[in-house]
Structure 1
Amino acid sequence: MSDFIPVNEPLLDGNEKKYLLECIETGWISSEGPFIKEFEQKFSASVNRKYGIAVTNGTAALDAAVEALGIGQGDEVIMPAFTIISCITQIIRGGAIPVLVDSDPVTWNMDVTQIEGKITSRTKAIMVVHIYGLPVDMGPVLDIAERYGLKVIEDAAEMHGQTYKGKPCGSFGDASTFSFYPNKHLTTGEGGMIVTDDEEFAETCRSLRNLCFQPHKRFVHERLGWNLRMTNLQAALGLAQLERLGEFVDRKRAMGRRYSELLRDVSGIQLPLAHTDYADNIYWVYGLILEETSGLNAEEAMRQLAAKGIGSRPFFCPMHQQPVLRRKGLFEREDYPVAERFYKQGFYIPSGLTLDSAQIERCAIAVSELLN
């Protein structure tokens, strides 16, 4: 229908066209172009990191980071049950063992109080994944990692412009990763970034990104890598977007506040937490969790919203419920009830940067009608 409100639409009315035309006019459209290095330098600086490695997408960033940290056969990685499957793929493919923790029912992030109880002699790393709008409580995680000598991977894919106690998300742990998919605050169409303060780790990631070509024996390979190179066209988009990140964050927070104002008196739903003592919600998406007493689950609610011309998307299916992972014999007899409830009852409504006030009100009315 013509008046359908999509769940996301990117905002591309800054210098995107100007920089893309520069790529075309100069012929620098591949991964060799000058926008790549400029984007890496400016983005890593924006999160207080020394090095940035631009890659094809957020999944590729995670894959390369896990490989570069030497996580492999028999190693255990503690991670949230409630996240996207990208977080677990290289752990499994590398022969390591994912160890899950459940979610905090209020912040929707991993419950950091469960981490220490999952540590064994085989634990090598903790993978932190910031979910939807609020960051994970990083203080306890970093303290545990230091006491037990563990690596920390920070997946900040959804946290462009967010901070934890005033420090940028993406600045914590051994390595942090970002996604630039079109639904993120900052997009390159497809794309991702690894950021770190470790020069040797950064060089390993660059090598893995580029098929592990060697400087003096290009087609002689000592290690298997991937072709994960970002193009100059993508980096040009990213640079233009980065110039406006502060504006985008302010817009997202204003949208989230408006949704909460319109929905605060609607019974039967849990709204996103506005703030904690370490961060204000950035509202990457505006999520809703239906109470069991509402008589609705997420699937039915999304079906009814679609009939009203409102786009929506379900919450993540927990790792222990993924059919492909269960067929591999993983997570047998494991239950993570909070993550399970999020998946069954949670979804998010239109949250893109192009959303206007009339559309926000229309979406809020549609949600209210579901529950009244």
Structure 2
Amino acid sequence: MKVNKLSFFVLAVLCCIAVSSCSQQDYDIQIPERVYGDMNLLNKNLTKDLNSSSNLSFEYQISDANEYIKYNVYVENNQLHSKLSYKQNDAKWVDISEIDFNFKKVNYKNGMNDIVEKHAETLKKKLDIAIINRVGNILEGLPEILYKKLGRNEYNNELTLSIFYHLAAFNTSIRAYEDKSKDCQCGVNNSYLSGESPFFCAEDVMVSADEAYDLIKERSIIKKSEGYEFNPKSLLQYLSNESGEFVSASKLDRLLKHEFGSYFKKLNKKERLRIRNDYYQSSNIIMTKTPSEYDGWPIDPTCWLYGARAGSDCGCCGNYSGPCYGCSPACYLHDKSCETCEPSWYCLSGCVPGPC
């Protein structure tokens, strides 16, 4: 799929800005755009048991742009150090993201969500949202490229998988901007703790764009037959562009909420009341929050459109069963992807194929 050439960011965008928390600054929902490029491995010593000689570094050049990402991760004194750098044209490299942690600490995985949340707040204070969004889009495609470059064995290494901590931090910052949240939040993903997947915030589990398109299209048609003219065109177009790929579930929910906002504003009082009644009378809806928490909307649009979907105990997401934790297509779609333990760069060796 060909991506239109994007305008270059100037390095000045990396300057620190005065932001006191993740709730500052207004930010409109952006439709994600997949970024393509070429990866060059610089150094690689992916030992099975991490030691002082273990390291990995690579450089990634964006297609049709003089824009670069460099990643370096190594081990020193039981600490795993990882650094992400960025530059444009012939400018100097700028270090934009660094994460360190003690991988020898017992149950260190249990603390990674806190580390990612704190780092997301640091990114939010340090970088402009334009560069956060840009780098986040670039990072989204790197795991699959690394998997193809390294193969399953070397990919399934803590050094390689450390890139997911940075991706999660950037995604968390973006979510906070778009949701206008007071905090940078990264929910616990149990499949990471059990070794069935790399690190992902629970909000960002990966789902098939094709399966998401089919589900959203189906539910939109059902709503139309019920007398509602809700048609999330931008979301469906985004999923159509991503056909054959896997995308973050939180992006689906945020784009849907954004489109529902525009739709709801156009309704008269009687039509709004009808949607409220339809929402509250649905027996399959599980309320997890009060209506006031949904960005000022009287209902959660994902609940209104989808209802509650059941989870399962199969595949790389075998960590719950019964109703979803919240009203979202995420767990249903994620389980369907897990039936075949795909994609390979997301479902690790602990994945057990379905059926769900």
| TM-score, L = length of structure 1 | 0.28
Q: Which has the higher contact order (CA 8 A, sep 6+)?
A: 1
Write 1 or 2 for the structure with the bigger share of helix.
Answer: 2
